[in-house]
């Protein structure tokens, strides 16, 4: 499994940083706003809106965009091609919970 931060063909591998700073009780939890993410991951593309890309061991990919609260269970990272949103928090933020 890999976790990447960037956009289009310009991504940085943040898997190790996520394992150190974003892993809580078996879940990867990553801020929903791009203005907060560079404080954790650095900013290799200043001024450009970026996303978080999870690449599961089975090759499937899930991209989380600005406004998505990311909560992904570490032992359930084999994404299916279509994912279901299980919970919606607040009126503007989406919580993607895979369990």
User: Residues for the chain: how many in total?
Assistant: 99
Q: What is the pTM of this model?
A: 0.75
Distance from C-alpha of 67 to C-alpha of 50, rounded to nearest angstrom: 11
The pLDDT, as a whole number, for residue 50 is 95
- Of 75, 68, 78, 62, residue with least CA distance to 37: 68
The pLDDT, as a whole number, for residue 52 is 95
The pLDDT, as a whole number, for residue 5 is 97
The pLDDT, as a whole number, for residue 26 is 87
For the chain, the straight-line distance linking the first and the last C-alpha, in angstroms and rounded, comes to 16
Q: Which SS3 state, helix, strand or coil, does residue 4 take?
A: strand
pLDDT, tens digit, 9 for 90 and up, residues 67-86:
987 888 876 665 544 333 33
Give the tokens for residue 83: 């994912």
B/e letters for 46-84, b = 16+ CB within 10 Å, e = fewer, are: eeeebbbbbbbeeeeebebeeebbbbbeeeebebeeeee
pLDDT, tens digit, 9 for 90 and up, residues 25-70:
888 999 999 889 999 999 999 999 999 999 888 888 889 999 987 8
């Amino acid at each position: 499994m890999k976790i990447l931060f960037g956009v289009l063909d310009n991504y940085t591998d943040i898997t190790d940083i996520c394992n150190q700073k974003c892993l809580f009780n078996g879940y990867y939890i990553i801020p929903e706003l791009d203005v907060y993410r560079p404080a954790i991951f650095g900013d290799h593309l200043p001024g450009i809106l970026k996303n978080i890309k999870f690449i599961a061991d089975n090759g499937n990919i899930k991209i989380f965009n600005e406004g998505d609260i990311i909560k992904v269970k570490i032992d359930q990272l084999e994404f299916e091609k279509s994912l279901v949103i299980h919970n919606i928090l607040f009126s503007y933020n989406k919580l993607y919970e895979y369990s």
